[in-house]
Structure 1
């Protein structure tokens, strides 16, 4: 909607137009009889009646002295020897406006004709020339041509455009209804005259000070003529006819009042337009015509018609105002209050939790403290799906911390924030990152962790140069397993991480691994092996099959075991499990390739070149990883069993069944499963995985 004001004005005008038509027909129904002559239109004039008539109308319809000549745009009347345009008719006060047809209002210096004028006189008489007497209700502008300049009469206004070197033209406004000889100066002669305006005895003094330009502007509007003057009264309309005309007139006045008020930009005028137009109509219509008995005028039919019109106009405007200015804002405010209420509930829930947490958990910091700790977020460590991580320093003491600022779209409901604070706020384990503190002010939230100077594990295992010895790599893998096992078994509630991957394993200054980023973690009873399917979240490439479909088992702590197995294989291979740039297609998916290499030794009873070059600890990491990524969760070990396998030697470990990701042609009969089509689909999706998604 481009312009609201124009829209409201359009709606209001359309409504008023529709109901004005209803009111017009209702009023026309009241019309019980008239003088037998039809109303007619002439030029721009509508609903013309007695005493006017058109040429060719039946005898008795109107007066011949008021016969109009009609064209497409003008109504013309003959008054004595002059021709005049009828511009308006006032039936209430019985007069009409006319303008001299020979007077050019567009001329910059017009002069009326000198040889004709509408004479005034008593009603119903003819003068000696047989001209009909009209009663002029207007002032007279008199023009005179003087041989000398008039300096002693202020009523004379010079008309410079009509004067010459030897003559001076003046105009003055006569105090009477005609130009008098007494008003002429001795050296002046009568030139022309023209009536103008509507006569009021109080306006003569004002016109004395008017200039020729002012008088000319008034002249162009014409003058008024009283009717009737033919000595007979028109056929008296019935009460119903008077009622119909009165209602039509008042309805037109009310419409005009509405248009005038609504066209203004003032709020007060708009209020008048919407709420006072009906009052304006009632004030007009409840005044009976002159010499009418109010008891006879206010009939039951009159009251019903007026009530119908007022209702037809007022009710739609009331509904429009109610819907637009009351119901619509009320609905908007209700929606905003609801959103505010929902936000306050979330904030209050978080605040209630934080008050409890403050007594048993990490330190709570204000947002200004966070700004100071991070030096206005100067040193950015990284960007993840949950927000940005900045390096900071706690004072006093100068301990380094990592501050994770949670973005609004990831923590707007407070669930992930509460999950992370409640999960790691009570954990104290050497292989789990420690939560130092947190911040929560309205929707601004932050988590303060101990700072891990060595960064995340992915920077080392995927580097071109070998960063760790196999002993150190095995030590790191065992530390990660201990941290995950603590989450599963060391707390009152088992904590399922759901997002184990190299990016979420941080290393301290001594390369001690710590499990981090608990944004997806959930707490469940330790003895409960069933986890809702709504927990299906994580990173493609590390997510367990049962997280996608229950056909592969239930979601449990074994889901973290699967992710850890994929992590072990990447640590052992020094590459991502899915490598589209591998030398051969058989090496594209590392778990499949390493399984083939390990099983080839047993089937051929000989050691392949690859296995011969494989370190014992590398082989152990691969075997443990293959056990962890078994398709069915029941076939995977627990994290405590994984720890035992990592602490044992490589020669005591048995090869697991072939994982689901291998081609069916290579699956041993005794190790095969009867997979459903759903399994085949999920297998294709998981083996086609690309680079891991960065948080």
Structure 2
């Protein structure tokens, strides 16, 4: 049995090594010509090496002429010659063979390839527009390309940073030719036709190379040695056999697990590509049409634009909001991109990208399949989907998530972001019903050292606007205005209806916040038509008390969102009833006063919002 086992192991490892030797021969480093760049893993030559010798997207080829240049072909048929490959820094040096790189730029789609521009170049990415101008036109801030120009005309390129955001435009006599995706300014502004690309894929090309020559030598010696040494030889051979057997088992397991490891590598690479795609990116309008499949799947319509479902890849869905073309659109677009472009919080919707292509503007968000909280907040007769279908534990989690998102906007960013549009319609729910705040079109930015902002006009939705936004008699608009809006939203979640409901059977229930305050203050049964399990009544009472604290008329009486989070996370018995924000209606006998009778208390300094 020992001899059979040894022979079987010998045959197995020999065949394994033979197969690996063939594989190594096929995938060995090569060149297109003797002084050309070395082509090695993760690259491979299409004509001379099988697919497993490199990663997908890393295929190179050789020109058929006698010069034998090494060619890298990027998506949309952009052909570049390879000057050098640095496998240590994972960079490839490429150039345009015709010394006219701008001619290929309209077809360049670097995001669809496994490459990106080298790190030293990504700090100056910009989109460019190409114009055909008369050669008599002077160029003030554009770049001229003789290789594209004709007699009497010259082709000029202008950065979208100037043409779109600053407002500097080329001469009116110039005719626009095409736009490019974001590329480094050095590629456009430099006369050199070469640049660097880098790749992020891990450099892992592993193979097992194990021999058994020592074992074979001992095996032969065991049958040819003298009798006096056979016992020693047998012992050494048995030890060698055990060592080789362990090595063989290890090699066998390695090759059995190799398929799983390759699948894991593919999974990681797919994740890295998808993660890179989630960085805020500037898209052209042509990209937007491609992402939305020509605006095929409409999922929403609002006052400021239409929302379409789109797809960046097979696994990444996005919501694309095409903004309406009206005069306020510019400010709202800048607010949205500036506010959301640097925000990374689990309770704030992620801005994946944006489009500013002339007068056409769009915003690209992560896609949240459960839509807005607006369709879950009210119990509508005849509809099974209502706020009660979520359950009170989930509703409390949604309320806490919204509070944490607003607190992050107020305290977690470099500048304080005041949303001014907190309402159910602007709270989106992901696949697990986790809330994410969206729509920053009305947001204001201010320094953390100040609390208040100046506003030329009221902004927001009636029913959620804080009193000080409508009238300065209550103080100045500040981050406390978001606290008021959150309080109204929280009371709507609990009540399962709009706070002002003209359909209420009892006229005293028309304004729900005042009605629920009076019942809690008198320790009456709330009498709301809600399904409450045992032990949940305290949770509901806590939500109502927090909401009533948030809707105090004067900003100084409202808690900060940080304190609101602590109140929602604390015990049910830690809260006390707030002052009555509706006292004026109780003490006014003539019906002429609708404002709480107390002196104006505001220690908030007015400052202009920061842009």
Q: How high is the TM-score relative to the length of structure 2?
A: 0.49
**Structure exhibiting the larger radius of gyration computed from Cα positions:** 1
